Amino acid sequence: MTNTVADPQPIEHPWLSPEEVAPERASKRALADAVRRIVDQVALIDVSRVSAEQLAGVRAACETAERALAGLPSLSELGGPQNGATADRPLIERGPISGRSNALAPPLEGFWVDGEVVRCHAVFRSTYEGPAGNVHGGVLLAAFDEVLAFGQVPSGHIGMTGTITVKLLGPVPTGERVDFEAGTLGIEGRKVKVWARARVGDRVVADASAICILVRRPEQSPSESTSPSE
């Protein structure tokens, strides 16, 4: 396919190379890991073998932690993490899929470029279970949204997700490592076509593709770039 857009613009990719992590940020990530473990444990409480009093005691401990957190400086005072320090802004720090400091994220991690392919992996805990013993399909779709976005990196053109197609080819067990890979198929106008794949061991468990749309640069007029609908 012919690349009909301008030459790639320099893009910083802090998730693709080792970084120096300040002690405070390392502690925040460790706190997020602790919260992930708490979420897992809460989801697995067997209410048939626990008393209301025991649960009330745990809730009180959580409320104490909540009050301690409320007393700390917050990025919400700046309008959100996207307005914080440079290291706060990447999705691998704040995002709901790969954010190391976001306890909601599994997270996807280990991003690196292997030639024209971006690779990463994740372990989806029981918190993400759908069918018994397997990862919820919606969680996998969300993971692919992130993986496909990163798959654009080797091309030097980063667009926003337009459409995604995911084919789930088999069960994805919780608690097992899932390896993802993605890359760019080609660029047509403002459309970046991307592919992705997921494996558990040697078994391909899902394939995906996406069309991402490049945002017009301020100096471009609508007539100078292709409409997403074309």
CATH number reported for the structural domain that contains residue 217 in this entry: 3.10.129.10
Detail the DSSP E strand segments found in the chain. 109-114, 117-123, 160-168, 177-188, 191-200, 203-213
Question: In this predicted structure, what is the pLDDT of residue 225?
Answer: 42
The domain boundary residue, chosen from 107, 124, 159 = 107
* Same domain assignment for residues 149 and 222: yes
Contact 81, 88 (CB under 8 A): yes
Q: Establish if 69 belongs to a structural domain.
A: yes
Question: In this predicted structure, what is the pLDDT of residue 216?
Answer: 75
* Same domain assignment for residues 116 and 102: no
* Same domain assignment for residues 93 and 119: no
Q: Establish if 7 belongs to a structural domain.
A: no
pLDDT per residue as tens, the chain (230 positions): 444 444 544 445 655 655 678 999 999 999 999 999 999 999 999 999 999 999 999 999 999 999 999 999 999 999 998 888 888 988 889 999 999 999 999 999 988 888 899 999 999 999 999 999 999 999 999 999 999 999 999 888 889 999 999 999 999 999 999 999 999 999 999 999 999 999 999 999 999 999 999 987 665 544 444 333 33
* Same domain assignment for residues 144 and 218: yes
The domain boundary residue, chosen from 107, 142, 163 = 107
The domain boundary residue, chosen from 107, 142, 176 = 107
* Same domain assignment for residues 206 and 97: no
Strand, coil or helix: 214:
coil
Phi and psi for 93 in degrees, rounded to 5? -105, -40
* Same domain assignment for residues 58 and 136: no
* Same domain assignment for residues 181 and 212: yes
Burial track 2-21 (b if 16+ CB lie within 10 A, e otherwise): ebebeeeeeeeeebeeeeee
* Same domain assignment for residues 60 and 171: no
* Same domain assignment for residues 117 and 230: yes
Helix and strand element counts for the chain (H, E): 4, 6
- Name the residue range of residue 140's domain: 110-230
How many structural domains is the chain composed of? 2
* Same domain assignment for residues 216 and 117: yes
* Same domain assignment for residues 88 and 124: no
Contact 99, 84 (CB under 8 A): no
Q: Establish if 55 belongs to a structural domain.
A: yes
* Same domain assignment for residues 56 and 146: no
